[in-house]
Amino acid sequence: MMHLYLGLLLFSFLITSLLVVPFINLLYKLKFQRQKQNTTDFQNKKTPIFDKFHNIKTGTPVGGGLLIIISVCVLFLILFPAIKLSKIFISTNYQIFHELGIVFFTFISFGLLGLYDDAYKFFGFKRTGFFGLRMIYKLVLQLILATIISLLIYFNLKVDFIYLPFFGAIHLSWFFIPISTLIITAFANFFNITDGLDGLSCGLLMIALFAFWFLSSSSLDTPISMFLCLWIGSLIAFLYFNVYPARIWLGDVGALSFGATFAVIALILGKVVPLIIVGSPFIIEGLSSAIQIFSKKYFKKKVFPAAPIHLTLQSMGWEEPKIVTRAWLAGIILAIFGLWLGLN
């Protein structure tokens, strides 16, 4: 199957490569670009460190995640039936319809939520009422989606376990549902927080997905492996234009979708421990923001000069490409470690 997977990856890369420049031009025409902003925190106080390093990025097109979502969905919709008709053996641990339904529901639903938020953010619509998507309302919608997905995983796939390396599967019964909901919501937001430097989140995700491609292949789950290959190929093509200085960004449409889907694939495979190891850069970024908010709210002081942690590194004088490339190197080592654990 390896030749099939590699072929899908290359084909996805080629198709997305052909589409990305016209898509960037379309975003410019639609004025779907980052607007000049004076950012404030949860206390409505200015964030000078963020503004200092990121106001120069005003005008960069936002919404590249939409291209990746559409490309992967359309390619899978065309290629998967063709592969089945060609009599290539497809193995899976679950009923294919239910498994793919959960993956694509996550991929698309969180993407639509992010797209809606992007439209409000970058077109400057007034944020009032529930559908203004203030932070608390967006979190509520994420929790609702994550709960639906967790219920589908539990009831349709009969998954209620987490596999611990060297110990085996630990069955959680219905406790799996709230734990899964928390993991999906957390990774959607952690990935979104990480998507703050050119190439940072996408590069780390590319590395992480390669690790989970090996894990899905070792689990003999062909549909998940095919999905990951198409996703990786499209992501690499996008990353070429997302590295410093970025010509396009994911936007919330990509960030929320990709973080949630990454977590869901790990849950379906039962690889939560590798998810935590491989995804630890996202966790560190997300927790640094959470700790900063908690400390400022309840203790009236900062733990870090700025949050998330990549802003602290920038405030220390680290250049953006230096932060990103070193994060990638850390991501590679963590992916190898997570892969090693996942195969035990």
pLDDT of 241 higher than 70: yes
Confidence of residue 132 (pLDDT cuts 50, 70, 90): very low
Please provide the average confidence, as pLDDT, over all residues in the chain.
91
- Res. 38: pLDDT tops 90: no
Cα–Cα dist 342/271, whole Å = 7
How far apart are alpha carbons 95 and 59 in whole angstroms?
A: 45
Taking 60 as the threshold, does the pLDDT of residue 41 lie above it? no
Whether residue 167 has pLDDT greater than 50: yes
Residue 96 has pLDDT above 80, yes or no: yes
Global confidence as pTM: 0.94
Of 305 and 39, which is predicted with more confidence?
305
What pLDDT digit, counting tens, does each position of 314-335 carry? 999 999 999 999 999 999 999 9
Q: Given a cut of 50, is residue 189 above it in pLDDT?
A: yes
Distance CA(101)–CA(51), nearest Å, equals: 41
Q: Which of 206, 195, 152 is nearest to 328 (CA)?
A: 206
Please give the average per-residue pLDDT across 30-41, as a whole number: 69
Strand partners, 40: 46
pLDDT the model gives residue 47: 61
Dmax (CA) for the chain in angstroms is 64
Could you give the residue ranges of the DSSP H alpha helices within the chain?
2-29, 48-54, 64-85, 96-123, 135-156, 176-194, 200-218, 222-242, 251-269, 272-278, 280-298, 309-315, 320-342
Which residue, 320, 293, 326, 317, is CA-closest to 307? Answer: 293
Distances (CA, A) of 64 to 70, 94, 229, 315: 10, 32, 18, 28
What is the gyration radius of the CA atoms in the chain, in angstroms?
20
pLDDT reported for residue 55: 72
Give mean pLDDT, residues 53-68: 86
| Residue among 42, 81, 24, 11 nearest 238 (CA) | 24
Q: Round to whole Å and give the CA distance between 142 and 186.
A: 9
Q: What are the backbone angles phi and psi of residue 14, rounded to the nearest 5°? A: -65, -50
